[in-house]
Amino acid sequence: MADQVCSKTGSGINMLLVEDDPPTQRMVTKSLENITCEVDVAGDGVEAIDKLLEKDFDLVLMDIRLPNLDGFELIRHIRIQEKSTPRHMLIVAMTATALPNDYDRAMEAGADIYIVKPVALEKITEIVMQYSPKQTS
C-alpha cells in the first residue's frame, strides 16, 4: 500500500499529525507511515504551529481536543496564515468525544473533513488518495 501511494504521489505526502496522547501518536504514526511516507508529530496546538512554520505539509490530521491551543483555534490559525499564500492545506479534524456541536465548530473554523476516532486505516487511505495535492492523473 505504501508503494502504491508513494508512486502515485511522487515523493509522498508530508503529513502533520497533531495528537496529545502518546500511545495514539505511536499507533496512528505507524499506520500513516505505511500509507503516506512521511509523518511529523506535534503533541499540542502550539507545537503544531512551530512545525507548520518549519515545513510545508500537504495534510494535517488533528485531534480537536488539544492542550495549550485547541484544535478549533489551530484550524483558524492555519486558515488565517493561508490567506497570504496560494495554498490550501487539507485539514482533517478528528475526535474521540464527538459532542453535538463539534462538527459544526470544526467546519466553521475551516476544517475540510471531520472524522470520529477510532479511525480505520482504510478511511485515512481513502482521504490521502482522494485529496493528495501531489496525486497525478
Residue range 39-55: average pLDDT?
A: 96
Q: What angle do CA 67, 53, 80 make, to 5 degrees?
A: 75
d(CA 115, CA 44): 19
- Tell me what pLDDT residue 10 has: 43
Number of H helices, E strands in the chain: 6, 5
Residue 112 has phi, psi (to 5 degrees) of -90, -35
Nearest to 64 by CA among 32, 27, 108, 31: 108
Q: What is the pTM of this model?
A: 0.84
pLDDT surpassing 50 at residue 137: no
> What CATH architecture applies to the domain 2-131?
3-Layer(aba) Sandwich (3.40)
Residue range 32-49: average pLDDT?
A: 87
Q: What residue ranges do the domains of the chain occupy?
A: 2-131
SS3 call for 8: helix
pLDDT surpassing 60 at residue 133: no
Over residues 1-31, the pLDDT tens digits come to 333 344 334 447 889 999 999 988 888 888 7
Over residues 73-118, the pLDDT tens digits come to 999 999 999 999 998 999 999 988 778 899 999 999 999 999 988 8
Half-sphere exposure of 83 (CA within 13 A, CB side): 7
Q: Compute how many other C-beta atoms are within 10 angstroms of the C-beta atom of residue 87.
A: 11
